[in-house]
Amino acid sequence: MGDLVIATVHHSTTDYYHCSITPYTSFAQLPQLAFEGATKKSRPILAPGSLVYVRITLANKHMDPEVTCVSDATGRADGLGPLTGGMVFDISVGMARRLMMKDPKKQGGIVVLEEIAEKGIPFEMAVGRNGRVWVDSKSVSNTLVVGRALVETDSEALDIEGQKKLVKNLVKAL
């Protein structure tokens, strides 16, 4: 099972989408049929700049990486695929790893998302191991609150009390 990342479609060819995982690596190849239930007629059409939540299936230094949007075990999407709407925020790879833990509060000291949810702000989120977070909410201002909270928690290395204070100030500014 490979790492989950958020990739940006750069261009496409007959059989593949060529996606950027980081600005410093070669393009990853995403087969156009690597989506749940995809056929030549029903596959998603992704324009350059489209965001995709993918799993890395092959990565070594002598070949371009390969990614997919289906689980090897189940053949289902399991949350992978095109990300529509929302915004992408850059965070550190360490912060991304902490957010992906089973219990971010206990294991990683991250309570910012829990605090935002308690304030009644609904949101969806996808975290990539490549230090990118996609956030979507009902309004742009809510999306920005979640994104800013994550970025500031990361950049300022806030502890639990600092995270609670940050969320309180961001929600008050709404």
Structural domain boundaries in the chain: 4-83, 87-173
Task: Kindly report the number of other CB atoms within 10 A of residue 137's CB atom.
Answer: 21
**What radius of gyration, in Å, describes the C-alpha atoms of the chain?**
17
| pTM for this prediction | 0.91
Q: Are 72 and 1 in contact (CB under 8 A)?
A: yes
Q: What is the pLDDT of residue 75?
A: 80
At 51, is the pLDDT very low, low, confident or very high (cuts 50, 70, 90)? Answer: very high
Q: Are 67 and 25 in contact (CB under 8 A)?
A: no
Tokens linked to 75: 């053949």
Q: 87-173 in CATH: which number?
A: 3.30.1370.10
Q: Are 56 and 44 in contact (CB under 8 A)?
A: no
Q: Which CATH architecture has domain 4-83?
A: Beta Barrel (2.40)
Q: Is the pLDDT of residue 77 over 60?
A: yes
Q: Cβ contacts of residue 68 below 8 Å, gap of 6+?
A: 30, 31, 34, 54, 55, 57, 80
Provide the angle, in degrees to the nearest 10, between the axes of the packed helices 140-155 and 160-173.
Answer: 150
At 152, is the pLDDT very low, low, confident or very high (cuts 50, 70, 90)? Answer: very high
At 99, is the pLDDT very low, low, confident or very high (cuts 50, 70, 90)? Answer: very high
